[in-house]
Amino acid sequence: MRSPFRPLTVPDPGILDDHRPLLRRIERRGFLRGGLSLGALTMLTGCDVSDSSAVGRALRAVSDLDDGVQAALFDPLKLAPEYPASMVLKPPRFNAYYDVEEVKPVDGDAWRLELGGLIADKRPWTRRQIAELPERETIIRHVCVEGWDYIGQWSGVPLRTFLERVGADLTAKYVAFKTADDYPSSIDMASALHPQTLLATRYAGESLPDPYGYPLRLRTAVKLGFKNPKWITTIEVTNTYPGGYWESRGFNWFSGL
Ligand SMILES: Nc1nc2c(c(=O)[nH]1)N[C@H]1C(S)=C(S)[C@@H](COP(=O)(O)O)O[C@H]1N2
Ligand SMILES: [Mo]
């Protein structure tokens, strides 16, 4: 916070350029009409924004504000629409931040699911152990920010069931994921506990094909496609904002449907 007695230093407007993705994300949602100046940022946050990391922190505070509003509007009991099996797209449509030919298949036998953060029992899980957990199936619409969508049929253990089983702190703010392809992702706890949020191991009744996240991926009906990490290797429960691959490139973190 800026001391009321310290004169406000005149910051270099170029500092804002270091934070273009965050800025665009805030501006895109009409949060600040006419764009954001350093002066406005100072007034909004009461912070001295004379260096780049302070600007980053202040922008983060402004965009978190909006995530908080979205999170408050989220109804944890409301179910997303489900569809008949006849509408399921086979195979599903592929997307990643690289082409399908570049997918590096995960060795399911050597694979382990690692746990971290606010979880009582952090022992890693094998594929076989996960397969023994109770499952649910959802037939839901996948919506990608690129402007396409499809109906998919996913099964696996509800993330809520899994988090309860390992003694996760369900009052924590975030569930964060790491993946085999370096695609960090995270969701709010309310969405993690939603009944249509699964750790999916199968698509249309078959083991997940490699491009779609074998052996384990997140599939939630309450988030945009990019918040459904494939090839999960680590789940962490935390109160520290974890961000994500597209979030650090300007996309809104909450991105609920
Ligand atoms: N690990 C990982 N997960 C990812 C991505 C990625 O690049 N890597 N892309 C995301 C995006 S943008 C979309 S739209 C969906 C696509 O999932 P699908 O290939 O099963 O349709 O995966 C999401 N999960
Ligand atoms: Mo996407």
Ligand 1 site-directed mutation target among 227, 230, 245, 248, most atoms within 8 Å of CB: 230
How confident is the model at residue 136, as a pLDDT? 98
User: Which ligand has the minimum distance to the alpha carbon of residue 218?
Assistant: 1
Where helices occur in 148-200 by DSSP H, the ranges are 159-165, 189-192
d(CA 192, CA 184): 16
Confidence of residue 206 (pLDDT cuts 50, 70, 90): very high
Q: Where are the domains of the chain?
A: 13-73, 85-249
The model carries a pTM of 0.82
- Does 254 score more than 80 pLDDT? yes
215 preceded by cis ω (within 30°)?
yes
C-alpha to C-alpha distances, 107 to 13, 18, 91, 115, 157, nearest whole angstrom: 49, 39, 21, 19, 21
How close is the Cα of 187 to the center of ligand 2, in Å?
Answer: 15
CATH label, 85-249, candidates 3.90.420.10, 3.40.50.12780, 2.40.50.90, 3.40.190.10: 3.90.420.10
Range with top average pLDDT, 18-27, 48-57, 197-206: 197-206
Confidence of residue 236 (pLDDT cuts 50, 70, 90): very high
